[in-house]
Chains A and B, each alone.
Chain A
Amino acid sequence: MREVGIVGVGHPPFGKYEGSLMAMLCEAAVAALDDAGLKTGAGHGVDQVLVSSMGASQVNRQTGVASALVDTLNLRPAMAETVENGPASGASAVKLGYMAIVSGMCDVVLVVGGERMRVLSGWEATDFVATMLHPEAEYAYGLTLPSFAGMFTRLIMAKYGVTERDLAMVSVKNHQNAMFNPAAHIQLVPDLEAITEDEDALTINPYVAEPLHLYDTCPVSDGAAAVVLCALDVKERFAKRPVKIAGIGQATDTHVVAEREVPTDLFAVRRAAERAYAMAGLGPQDIDVAELHDAFTILEIVEAEEVGFFPRGEGHLAVRRGETRIGGRIPINTSGGLKAKGHPLGATGVSQIIELVRQLRGEADGRQVKDAQAGLAVNFGGFGNNVVATILTREEE
């Protein structure tokens, strides 16, 4: 089978973007093309462009985004599609790019993920994201992603003894990591005591969906991120040594969360990771760095268990022992994660993969994991009903 690598990454800062969705996507795309040593215009060499966005049509009233991007960047006549798979759109688009290359249809694919959601108020953003829930069984009753996460956290707390302080520790760690990532939305390290124990804790760190607080939830961010994929048999065309896509796994679960056999298990995360490991010929013990979808801090803990880093119910103990910090046994969310880097839905999966590329290239500066050889990203769609896991490995010369 043809092998695929990543030869270019572009990641402008997440946060609040003043321009249009298209301008934001173009910035990321141009940065990735630059990194790969490619140019726009005649002879650009890009066969396919994939754009991942969950809300372009609903929030920004723009459809056909990939076609528009191709023309704006003068990448015609490249093929173009927009990919929507909820918050897992980014990793899905990378997967489709991978498939396009493996099939032999393309040599070079540009994947651009982006979301411009700061045009919405916080509550409107929550409502828009909730449209991926089951319309009759969930959305109609006012359920939202934070409310699901809150209920899920309660169950996990009762079952395994996870505390609010454990969750805050995940948050502090990710915010600390983000301080070394200039693209992170929030550049501020919360103080563990101040956000948990202090008399003012509930004013400055209010409950969003009890028992989850503001510092347990990702902010609403604008942002775009882009990668250039290529067949490894054409890697000589590019300036940078590719990072190999060694494994991709995807799995789905029931749409209605209440229909799951064990509501505290994230079956699709486990299955997606197993598939990715099998394809890569690796196991959890081989992973040096991971980006896990921490839209809520609880998800980082449970996903870390589901991908096999820790036994079920023990993820929070590893957090207490500092095993998920940079320098720990398995550093998680070195980029700052969704919690601190931000979560512009369609961009997130691409952004996670970029962090792994940076780590595997040794370009992660102050947050570099020493001698990282393999990385795992988990991009989580719905409330865990569609999950994509991607494994990247360092390509030796």
Chain B
Amino acid sequence: MAVLDKMEAQLRPVETLMVPYPAKYITQASGEKLVVHQLTREDVPHLLKAIQPLTTVEKDFYDVVGCRVVSELVGWMRYRVKDEYCLVGTVNGEIVGMVNGRMLTDKIGMSYHTLAIRQGLRLGAQLFAAKMEYHMDFLKQDEVWVVAESPNGFKRWMIEYELEPRFEQWHELGGVPTYVLTRKLWEKHKAAKCGGRRPVPEELLAVAKQMTLPSIYGQIPGYKRGE
């Protein structure tokens, strides 16, 4: 056991202390409140149940994003990724989307994925903005490296934030073209893209933390949980 522990200790990355992301809420066009809060490793198995159904959906590259998110979260949960974090979005306590990423260095953020489960409200875009907010305003980093795996992502991040192409620097996600959110770009787009209020009223946060699993996936017509 002692030998294994030592081995395990050698396998685990050295972690940097990261300031937590303070939860916030954003009123949606539907009038509902999207609550964004940070997860812990202990929450991962539950979140995976919300993501797993999407790992076989080819449309809009949910399969690629879903599978990678699962592996990144398991990697984080089992101490095989350094300085990763995950923010989840809930509406009325139901998981509607998530974002994750990690700190590459204290100055550079590595954005991993944005996955919107509920579609139509542009929740994904708001979760992406929350992720950038975490890197820039709370972790106080200089820049975030971003890639897109789907045309939807490309339109929302590369085009709308006017991300700087920096193809000579390889992002961790398979060496696809890297784009960068610099502080200058963040300051330019933040006001229009990043909404929300703090603190989240206690009751609202308590409901958010229930994290019920989605019963409907627009991406999977006729989906029934457990089948």
List residues of A whose CB falls within 8 A of some B CB.
18, 121-123, 186-191, 193-195, 198-206, 215
Q: How far is the CA of A199 from the CA of B197 in the complex (A)?
A: 9
**Residues of B with C-beta under 8 A to A203:** 26, 126, 192-196
Q: How far is the CA of A188 from the CA of B32 in the complex (A)?
A: 12
| B28 contacts the other chain (CB 8 A) | yes
List residues of B whose CB falls within 8 A of some A CB.
26-31, 59, 120-122, 126, 151, 154-155, 159, 192-197
Sample 8 A-B pairs with CB under 8 A, ordered by A number. A121-B155, A122-B155, A190-B30, A199-B197, A200-B195, A200-B197, A202-B192, A204-B29
Do the beta carbons of B59 and A204 come within 8 Å of each other?
no
Do the beta carbons of A204 and B159 come within 8 Å of each other?
no
Contacts A121-B159, A204-B27 known; list 9 others, CB within 8 Å: A18-B59, A189-B30, A200-B196, A201-B27, A202-B192, A203-B26, A203-B192, A204-B126, A204-B195
Do the beta carbons of B29 and A194 come within 8 Å of each other?
yes
**Residues of B with C-beta under 8 A to A189:** 30
A23 to chain B, nearest CB (A): 16
Do the beta carbons of A200 and B27 come within 8 Å of each other?
yes
**Once A and B bind, how many residue pairs between them come within 8 Å at the CB atom?**
57
**Residues of B with C-beta under 8 A to A215:** 29
| Contact A204-B31, Cβ < 8 Å, known A18-B59, A121-B159 | no
Do the beta carbons of B31 and A205 come within 8 Å of each other?
no
Do the beta carbons of B59 and A194 come within 8 Å of each other?
no
B59 to chain A, nearest CB (A): 7
Do the beta carbons of B30 and A191 come within 8 Å of each other?
yes
Task: Closest B residue to A203 by CB, please name it.
Answer: B195
Do the beta carbons of B30 and A206 come within 8 Å of each other?
no
B94 to chain A, nearest CB (A): 16
Q: How far is the CA of A195 from the CA of B26 in the complex (A)?
A: 12
A123 to chain B, nearest CB (A): 7
**Residues of B with C-beta under 8 A to A201:** 27
B24 to chain A, nearest CB (A): 10
Task: Closest B residue to A119 by CB, please name it.
Answer: B151
The 10 lowest CB-CB distance pairs between A and B, nearest first, are A203-B195, A191-B31, A190-B29, A200-B195, A194-B31, A198-B27, A200-B27, A121-B155, A188-B120, A200-B26
Do the beta carbons of A188 and B193 come within 8 Å of each other?
no
Task: Closest A residue to B197 by CB, please name it.
Answer: A199
**Residues of A with C-beta under 8 A to B155:** 121-122
Q: How far is the CA of A193 from the CA of B27 in the complex (A)?
A: 10
**Residues of A with C-beta under 8 A to B27:** 194, 198-201, 204
Q: How far is the CA of A18 from the CA of B193 in the complex (A)?
A: 29
A374 to chain B, nearest CB (A): 34
Do the beta carbons of B120 and A194 come within 8 Å of each other?
no
**Residues of B with C-beta under 8 A to A204:** 26-29, 121-122, 126, 195
**Residues of A with C-beta under 8 A to B122:** 204
**Residues of B with C-beta under 8 A to A190:** 29-30
B92 to chain A, nearest CB (A): 14
Q: How far is the CA of A205 from the CA of B122 in the complex (A)?
A: 10
| Contact A191-B192, Cβ < 8 Å, known A123-B159, A199-B197, A204-B122 | no
**Residues of A with C-beta under 8 A to B195:** 199-200, 202-204
Q: How far is the CA of A236 from the CA of B161 in the complex (A)?
A: 59
**Residues of A with C-beta under 8 A to B151:** 121
Do the beta carbons of A194 and B159 come within 8 Å of each other?
no
**Residues of B with C-beta under 8 A to A205:** 29
Q: How far is the CA of A198 from the CA of B197 in the complex (A)?
A: 11
A121 to chain B, nearest CB (A): 5
Which of A123, A190, A202, A203 gathers most chain B CB within 10 Å?
Answer: A203
Task: Closest A residue to B129 by CB, please name it.
Answer: A203
Q: How far is the CA of A205 from the CA of B28 in the complex (A)?
A: 9
Task: Closest B residue to A118 by CB, please name it.
Answer: B151
Q: How far is the CA of A194 from the CA of B194 in the complex (A)?
A: 16
**Residues of A with C-beta under 8 A to B59:** 18
Do the beta carbons of A194 and B192 come within 8 Å of each other?
no
Q: How far is the CA of A226 from the CA of B61 in the complex (A)?
A: 31
Q: How far is the CA of A123 from the CA of B155 in the complex (A)?
A: 9
Task: Closest A residue to B26 by CB, please name it.
Answer: A200
Do the beta carbons of A186 and B120 come within 8 Å of each other?
yes
**A187: which of B120, B126, B196, B197 is its contact (CB, 8 Å)?**
B120
